[in-house]
Structures are given as C-alpha cells and as structure tokens.
C-alpha cells in the first residue's frame, strides 16, 4: 500500500537526524520488538547544571514513519527540560512531521513511550523489560495492555476500535480482543459523559471572554465531540466573537441532512453550559482551511 | 532514468502489440458483438479469435471452454460459487492457507454463511501438506481450490496431483493460475483440472480482463446472471477491447513461454545469487526449485520491508514486500506466516518479480543499489547480528506467530 507521507515526514525518513547509540547516555529507553514489526531505542543526555536535554539519539527498526517519528522526537526534545519533554504528546510528534497517516499513528505513540522509558531509566526507575506498564494484557498479538489503550483513547480522543488499532496496534492481529477494546472505549466514553459538566458561571459572577472561551472549548470537548464522533463526524471550533460561536462540522456531519438539527442541539448545549445568550453559527465546509 | 520494474507479479506493462490490437475497439470498431448487423457481428469474430488464442495458450481442447471475466477475482468467485451451487449436497470447500485474498476472503465469507472450509497448510518451503489435504477430503467436499503458483514466493503446487486427489473424493478441482499462466507451459488437454482462473494484467494485457477455463462437461452455474453472452454463462456486454487485448497477450505469451525457463530464470538467478553474495543475513523464502522462474522472495534480517521499498523507490527500483507496514495490516504476509518464516525475517521480505522485458543491465543496477540500501537501514536498526535478541524491547507472545487464515 502506498502511504500518503508528507514532505517533512519523507525528509526525516530519507535524512534521519541524530541516528545512533549514545554511549554515555543518561537515559536509554527501549520499546517495541522485532516480532511486532517496529522497535525503538531512544537515548538522552542532559546538562547537569541546567537539566536540559543536550543530546538525543535513536535507533529504529521499522517502516518509514517509525524512523521519521523517532528522528522528529530527537529534534523536539533537544534543549527542553525533562519536565517539558515529558509533556510532548504523540500528536506533537505527528504535527511536527506535518501529519502521519492514521494507520501509522502507533509510530508516534512508540516515540512518546520510548522517551518516557528513557526518562524512567535516567531516574533509575525499575521497569520490567518486557512490560511498558503494569496493566493487564488485552491484545496478546502485540502485547498491549489496558492501561496503554486507555491512555491512547483519552489523550487522542479515540472513539472507534479501528482508531485504537491505528494508535496502539491492539486488535490488529487476530482480532480476538476487539470486543474487549470496544468495552474499554464504551467505559471511557460513558465516564466522560458522566463527568460533572462544566457549569455555567454562577449568577452574578463575571463571565470574561477568556472564561467563555474555556467553557465553549470544554463543552465541545466533553459534550459535543463524543456524540458526533460516535456517528463518524467531528466538530471544529473556528472562532468566538462576543456571544457568537463559529464552528465547522466535519466528516459525516458536514452536509448531513440532519446538520440543521445538530446545530440546534449544539446551541442548546452551549446555552445550558456556557451562557444563555450564545448563538451557534455553522460555517460552510471548507471554512476551516481558510480560517486555519 | 527509467525505473527498474521488478513488480511483475503485481501487474505488468501492456505489451505494445497488445495496445495496438485493442485500440481500434476503443475507437471506430465499437460495435456490440451481439448485434445482427455486420458492424457489430464482425467485432464478435474478433472476440472469438481472442478466445481461440487464450484456449491455445492453455492447451484447451475447445475455445468454448474459455469464459471471459472482468478479472482474476471474478474468475475465482465464479468457479468456487459454481461448484458449491452445482453440488448443493456437498457443503465443504477445501483450499490452502496461502491463497490470494480473492479466494481466502471468499472462503471466510462462505464459512460465515454456513459452509465448512478447510485451509490446508504448507511447510517451511511453502510446499503444500498433501497428507493434510488427503485427510480433509470426503464425500462432503464440493471443491478443492488451490493456486497453481504463489504470488508472493512463486512456489508451485502439484496441481495435477491435487486434481486427482479431489476427483478420487468425487469433488471438483479449481486452480487460481493467475501467476502461472504465461510463466509455465500449460496443457489442459493432458490435465484433469476442472476450472482454472487467469488474469490479463499479469501477462501484459491491461487491467479489467480475466478468464475462467471450464472443462467441457463440468457442471456450471453462472455467477453474473444477465444476457445470453458467453453462452449464457456470464451475463454482461463483453469487454471487447479487453478481450482482444487478452487474446493478443495470450498469443505473445504462448510464443515466449519458453524464454521464461531460460532467459527470465537466468536473470532471476543472477539477481538472487548476487543479492545473497553481496548482502549478509539474507534468506530466500520458498522452495528454490519448485517455483516460478520469474519470482524471488528475499528476506533481509534486522530491517523492515516498507523502509527498504522506500529507499529502493528513491533509487528507481520497484518491488513489493510482505511486511506488515505495506500490507495495510499490522501483521506480515499470511503466506510467510503460514510457512513459519520467523518474524525477524518476515518483516524484511522483498519480492522481486521479473518479466520477459527485464534486462541484464537492470538486474545489475539493482545489484549495485541493494547493498547500500540494506546497509543504511541496518545502521539505523537497533538489531544486528551482534545484538540479535534485543536486551530490552518487549517480545511478542507466541500467539502472534500463529497464522490465521
């Protein structure tokens, strides 16, 4: 299958940065295995005074996007403190490369894991070599634990089993664990739904524009998006002007017959959870590209 | 520079003679072969001439044994579904673990619909387990469907023996010969195979045309039900340009089939031996003798197939891989897994497939380009002969080594 790789990703594959083992590394993280089809060893070295990462190198067994992800990660962590580096998400790696095909997102997840393993090694934390965490194995084909699956779901807002497979490989072998993944997904979606919704600002409290933006974002994240994604769609926040919230519907939602109904429902949610005066305006498809 | 195309098991270049032969039928000779008027009727004669040429390539007794289809997959589906429908009291289909998805996916579909499916395994060389096949055959067996030659490794199955075994149990025998036709000499007059599938674009005809050979006297039920075309065995207006193209391609293949065993094989061996000499930790997948003369499947340890292909592509070489990352799934090729090729090798497998148009210069160019490609990736890889077993990364449980269908 020919993948649609971005120019930046190709550049990092054809000219990977910082390849090699680092003999005097402070931390060395190893994840994946040759049997699973990709593996990454990540090395970091920090400055004892500033605690910033001064050197980061890698060795990868894997496809084009696995090599490019590791290369990108070395550039991302250089100059950062360990705390800053640990805040790098797999999405940051994907973004840095100008995007990674969905089916290959597990390459970026592997990068993040290797970084964490290297930091753990640096801090002298003991980790069983054959386990990334102490969760229970869900996918026996690729040795993926429930903890790893949960984390990928939460961090990347995953909604389907296919997405979980793309990000973690779980379920991509014999497929026997797909029902179990589905159950984890349902549990997390349910949890997020039950989570105390952001309440409207208490009567009389001042609703600053900043607070309004935060509430709109929270409402989209916890109330609107999960529902739309269940139907294969999604929503993007474009802008907030006064009480007007401009959004775009993507995927199945865009141009859908029920779009008008959806808009009304989103507006009701906003009025309930943000402010009574909110008006939701749905921009025509394509408006997002122009706006971003 | 023109790329070196060594992916002929995926698809082939349309031969210049083939293109020339089909063009009039896309232009001024657009008539419908079913028409009464001469304008259409004449086209019908070209269709019949193409049928004769395909029959000649297969060594078929009669051109009426050739049924044109839209592709190899349609031919496979037609054959398998026909056999099951013609023998409704027999509810079992026997096939192999290494078939093309055209057969394997249909088998899984039939299984879900209540048919019994047996998938016979292969050994480390890719050779079929005849004992397992014999044990599976019974009066419940409607059809045995086994490929003539494997698309990934080129391994050839003893189809004549398989046909006899199937017949002994009163079952029909079908072979997906998409990779064999044009590469091996065929003689259906001296065979007992009941049905055989072929695909045009694997033998220098364009995509969109295939054929099914149905031995005279074989019970047959149509797959596409419609008009009276193909003697009521396949409805739908004939793909005349494609059929004419396939006829010409068959005629060319018939004329050149001997070269496959001589010049093509010589070039393949030059490539394969050259790679094994120049690159350490490389192995050939599939039996070295019992295979197609144009195919070489080589695994490079410690590196991954998609990465190899991307670097080869940059060097102007086209091939394919059985690695997980190129198959669009997360596991390496079902063929290599069925053979029990260790995962350390399966992920780094590259299939080179030549054609009669491949030249010595091209092979030598590949031999010059491959060693640095592999060396470069091995430099990036955390694994090597010195570190074959990683001292950290997780090892997959054995479950993932067991191939599924």
Residues B201-210 have pLDDT tens digits of 999 999 999 9
The answer to whether the Cβ–Cβ distance between A1 and B327 falls below 8 Å is: yes
**pLDDT confidence bin for B7, thresholds 50/70/90:** very high
- Is B401 a residue whose pLDDT tops 50? no
CATH class of B16-253: alpha beta
The answer to whether the Cβ–Cβ distance between A1 and B328 falls below 8 Å is: yes
The whole-number average pLDDT for the span B278-307 is 96
CA nearest to B43, candidates B253, B237, B250, B205? B237
Task: Name which of B314, B381, B404 is nearest A14 (Cβ-Cβ).
Answer: B314
Residue A114 lies in a domain: yes
- Nearest 10 degrees: CA dihedral of B304, B306, B311, B317? 120
Least confidently predicted of A118-122, A136-140, B84-88: A136-140
Check whether residue A12 and residue A114 sit in a common domain.
yes
On average, the pLDDT of chain A sits at: 85
- Residues of chain B with C-beta less than 8 angstroms from the C-beta of A174: 399-400, 402, 404
- Residues of chain A with C-beta less than 8 angstroms from the C-beta of B395: 33, 35, 130, 143
> How far apart are the C-alpha atoms of A122 and A124, rounded to whole Å?
5
**pLDDT confidence bin for A173, thresholds 50/70/90:** confident
pLDDT at res. A64: 94
Å from A90 to nearest chain B CA? 19
- Is B405 a residue whose pLDDT tops 50? no
Q: Between chain A and chain B, how many beta carbons pairs sit less than 8 Å apart? A: 133
Least confidently predicted of A124-138, A168-182, B10-24, B107-121: A124-138
The whole-number average pLDDT for the span A169-195 is 88
The whole-number average pLDDT for the span B332-355 is 92
> How far apart are the C-alpha atoms of B148 and B76, rounded to whole Å?
13
Per domain, the residue ranges of chain B are: 16-253, 257-401
The answer to whether the Cβ–Cβ distance between B330 and A165 falls below 8 Å is: yes
pLDDT at res. A288: 46
Q: Are A177 and A171 in contact (CB under 8 A)?
A: yes
Number of domains in chain A: 3
- Is B404 a residue whose pLDDT tops 60? no
**pLDDT confidence bin for A130, thresholds 50/70/90:** very low
Q: In 3-state terms, what secondary structure has residue A221?
A: helix
pLDDT at res. B392: 34
The whole-number average pLDDT for the span B2-7 is 96
- Nearest 10 degrees: CA dihedral of A31, A33, A38, A41? 40
User: Please, which residues 137-156 of chain A have a Cβ atom closer than 8 Å to chain B?
Assistant: 137, 140-143
- Is A1 a residue whose pLDDT tops 70? no
CATH of span B257-401: 3.90.1150.10
Check whether residue A117 and residue A33 sit in a common domain.
yes
More confident residue, B132 or A141: B132
- Residues of chain B with C-beta less than 8 angstroms from the C-beta of A38: 304, 325
pLDDT at res. A289: 46
Q: Read out DSSP for B6-65?
A: -BTTT--PPPHHHHHHHGGGGTT----TT-SSHHHHHHHHHHHHHHHHHHHHHT-S-GGG
Bridge partners (DSSP) listed for residue A284? none
- Is A292 a residue whose pLDDT tops 80? no
Is the CB of A135 inside 8 Å of chain B's CB atoms? Answer: no
- Residues of chain B with C-beta less than 8 angstroms from the C-beta of A67: 307, 380
> How far apart are the C-alpha atoms of B129 and B162, rounded to whole Å?
11
pLDDT at res. B344: 81
Residue A31 lies in a domain: yes
- Is B312 a residue whose pLDDT tops 80? yes
Check whether residue A98 and residue A177 sit in a common domain.
no
**pLDDT confidence bin for A176, thresholds 50/70/90:** confident
Residue A200 lies in a domain: no
- Is A252 a residue whose pLDDT tops 80? no
CA nearest to A136, candidates A125, A128, A144? A144
3-state SS track over A30-76: EEEECCCCEEEEEEEEECCCCCEEEEEEEEEECCHHHHHHHHHHHHH
> How far apart are the C-alpha atoms of A78 and A165, rounded to whole Å?
30
Over the stretch A199-243, which tens digit does the pLDDT of each residue have?
554 444 567 888 888 888 888 888 888 888 877 788 888 888 888
Domain containing residue A150: CATH number = 1.10.10.1100
The answer to whether the Cβ–Cβ distance between B400 and A35 falls below 8 Å is: yes
Residue A199 lies in a domain: no
Domain containing residue A269: CATH number = 3.30.300.130
Is the CB of A101 inside 8 Å of chain B's CB atoms? Answer: no
pLDDT at res. A226: 83
pLDDT at res. B397: 36
- Please classify residue A16 by burial: count the beta carbons closer than 10 Å to its beta carbon, then call 0-12 exposed, 13-18 middle and 19+ buried: buried
The whole-number average pLDDT for the span B278-300 is 97
Q: Residue B137: which residues within 8 A CB-CB, separation 6 or more?
A: B94, B144, B165, B166, B168, B169, B171
- Is A3 a residue whose pLDDT tops 70? yes
Check whether residue A186 and residue A264 sit in a common domain.
no
Residue A204 lies in a domain: no
- Is B104 a residue whose pLDDT tops 60? yes
Same topology for domains B16-253 and B257-401, yes or no? Answer: no
Percent of chain A past pLDDT 90, that is, above it, reads: 45
pLDDT at res. B399: 31
* Residue whose token pair is 């649609």: A4
CA A277 to chain centre: 33
Residue A215 lies in a domain: yes
Mark whether B325 is an active-site residue: yes
Domain boundary among A97, A122, A147: A122
More confident residue, A289 or B3: B3
Over the stretch B193-252, which tens digit does the pLDDT of each residue have?
999 999 999 999 999 999 999 999 999 999 999 999 999 999 999 999 999 999 999 999
pLDDT at res. B263: 97
The whole-number average pLDDT for the span A57-68 is 95
The answer to whether the Cβ–Cβ distance between B381 and A31 falls below 8 Å is: no
Domain containing residue A101: CATH number = 3.90.1010.10
The answer to whether the Cβ–Cβ distance between A174 and B400 falls below 8 Å is: yes
Least confidently predicted of A218-222, B35-39, B147-151: A218-222
Check whether residue A71 and residue A98 sit in a common domain.
yes
Least confidently predicted of A96-100, A186-190, B185-189: A186-190
Is the ipTM here above 0.90? no
Over the stretch B384-395, which tens digit does the pLDDT of each residue have?
887 765 433 334
Q: What is the pTM of this model?
A: 0.81
**pLDDT confidence bin for A132, thresholds 50/70/90:** low
**pLDDT confidence bin for B326, thresholds 50/70/90:** low
Task: Name which of A41, A63, A142 is nearest B382 (Cβ-Cβ).
Answer: A41
- Residues of chain A with C-beta less than 8 angstroms from the C-beta of B311: 14
CB-side exposure of B119: number of CA atoms within 13 Å? 19
Q: Are B320 and B11 in contact (CB under 8 A)?
A: no
Q: Are A45 and A24 in contact (CB under 8 A)?
A: yes
pLDDT at res. A127: 60
Percent of chain B past pLDDT 90, that is, above it, reads: 90
pLDDT at res. B379: 95
Q: Which two tokens stand for residue B21?
A: 């032969």
Neighbour order of strands in the sheet with A53-61: A27-33, A38-46, A53-61
The answer to whether the Cβ–Cβ distance between B393 and A30 falls below 8 Å is: yes
On average, the pLDDT of chain B sits at: 93
Check whether residue A12 and residue A106 sit in a common domain.
yes
Å from A40 to nearest chain B CA? 7
- Residues of chain A with C-beta less than 8 angstroms from the C-beta of B383: 34, 39, 61
Residues of the domain holding A47: 7-122
Å from B161 to nearest chain A CA? 33
pLDDT at res. A172: 86
The answer to whether the Cβ–Cβ distance between B381 and A16 falls below 8 Å is: no
The whole-number average pLDDT for the span B95-121 is 97
Is the CB of A36 inside 8 Å of chain B's CB atoms? Answer: yes
| Residues of A annotated catalytic, as ranges | 36, 107
Tell me the residue ranges of DSSP E strands in chain A.
27-33, 38-46, 53-61, 137-139, 144-145, 233-241, 244-251, 279-282
pLDDT at res. A133: 65
């Amino acid at each position: 299958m020919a993948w649609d790789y971005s120019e930046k990703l190709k550049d990092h594959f054809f000219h990977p940065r910082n390849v090699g083992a680092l003999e005097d590394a402070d931390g060395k993280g190893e994840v994946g295995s040759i049997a699973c089809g990709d593996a990454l060893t990540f090395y970091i070295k920090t400055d004892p005074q500033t605690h910033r990462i001064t050197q980061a190198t890698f060795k990868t067994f894997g496809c084009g996007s696995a090599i490019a992800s590791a290369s990108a990660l070395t550039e991302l962590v250089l100059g950062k403190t360990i705390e800053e580096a640990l805040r790098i998400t797999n999405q940051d790696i994907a973004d840095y490369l100008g995007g990674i095909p969905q089916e290959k997102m597990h390459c970026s997840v592997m990068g993040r894991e290797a970084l964490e393993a290297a930091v753990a090694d640096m801090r002298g934390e003991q980790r069983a070599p054959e386990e990334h965490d102490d969760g229970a194995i869900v996918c026996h084909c690729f040795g993926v634990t429930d903890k790893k699956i949960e984390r990928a779901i939460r961090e990347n807002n995953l909604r389907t089993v296919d997405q979980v497979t793309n990000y973690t490989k779980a379920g991509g072998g014999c497929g026997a664990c797909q029902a179990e993944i589905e159950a984890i997904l349902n549990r997390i979606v349910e949890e997020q739904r039950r989570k105390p919704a952001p309440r409207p600002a208490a009567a009389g409290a001042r609703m600053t524009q900043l607070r309004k933006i935060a509430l709109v974002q929270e409402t989209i994240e916890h109330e609107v998006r999960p529902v739309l994604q269940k139907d294969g769609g999604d929503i993007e926040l474009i802008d907030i002007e006064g009480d007007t919230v401009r959004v775009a519907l993507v995927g199945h939602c865009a141009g859908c017959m029920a779009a008008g109904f959806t808009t009304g429902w989103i507006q009701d949610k906003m009025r309930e959870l943000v402010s009574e005066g909110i008006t939701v305006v749905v921009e025509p498809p394509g408006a997002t590209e122009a706006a971003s | 520079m023109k790329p070196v195309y060594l992916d002929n098991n995926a698809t082939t270049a349309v031969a210049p003679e083939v293109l020339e032969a089909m063009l009039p039928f896309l232009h001024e000779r657009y008539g419908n072969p079913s028409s009464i008027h001469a304008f259409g009727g004449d086209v019908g004669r070209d269709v019949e001439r193409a049928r004769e040429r395909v029959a000649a390539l297969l060594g078929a007794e009669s051109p009426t044994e050739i049924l044109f289809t839209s592709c190899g997959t349609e031919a496979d589906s037609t054959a398998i579904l026909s056999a099951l429908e013609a023998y409704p009291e027999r509810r079992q289909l026997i096939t192999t673990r290494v078939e093309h998805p055209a057969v394997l996916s249909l088998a899984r579909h039939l299984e879900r619909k209540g048919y019994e499916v047996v998938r016979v395994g292969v050994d480390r060389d890719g050779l079929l387990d005849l004992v397992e096949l014999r044990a599976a055959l019974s009066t419940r067996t409607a059809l045995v469907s086994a490929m003539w030659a494997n698309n990934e490794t080129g391994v050839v199955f003893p189809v004549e023996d398989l046909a006899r075994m199937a017949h002994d149990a009163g079952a029909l025998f079908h072979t997906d010969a998409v990779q064999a036709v044009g590469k091996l000499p065929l003689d259906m007059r001296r065979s007992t195979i009941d049905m055989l599938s072929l695909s045009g674009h694997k033998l220098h005809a364009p995509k969109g045309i295939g054929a099914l050979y149905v031995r005279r006297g074989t019970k047959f039920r149509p797959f596409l039900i419609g008009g009276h075309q193909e003697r009521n065995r396949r409805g739908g207006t004939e793909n005349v340009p494609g059929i004419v193209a396939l006829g010409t391609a068959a005629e060319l293949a018939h004329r050149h089939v001997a070269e496959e065993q001589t010049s093509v094989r010589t070039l393949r061996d030059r490539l394969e031996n050259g790679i094994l000499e120049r690159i350490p930790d490389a192995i050939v997948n599939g039996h070295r003798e019992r295979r197609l003369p144009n195919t070489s499947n080589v695994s490079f340890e410690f590196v991954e197939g998609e990465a190899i292909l991307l670097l080869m592509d940059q060097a102007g070489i086209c091939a394919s891989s059985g690695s997980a990352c190129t198959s669009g799934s997360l596991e390496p090729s079902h063929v290599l897994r069925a053979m029990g090729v260790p995962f350390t090798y399966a992920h780094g497998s590259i299939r080179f497939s030549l054609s009669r148009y491949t030249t010595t210069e091209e092979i030598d160019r590949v031999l010059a380009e491959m060693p640095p490609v592999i060396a470069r990736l091995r430099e990036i890889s955390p694994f090597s002969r010195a570190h074959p077993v990683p001292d950290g990364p997780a090892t997959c449980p054995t479950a993932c080594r067991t191939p599924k269908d």
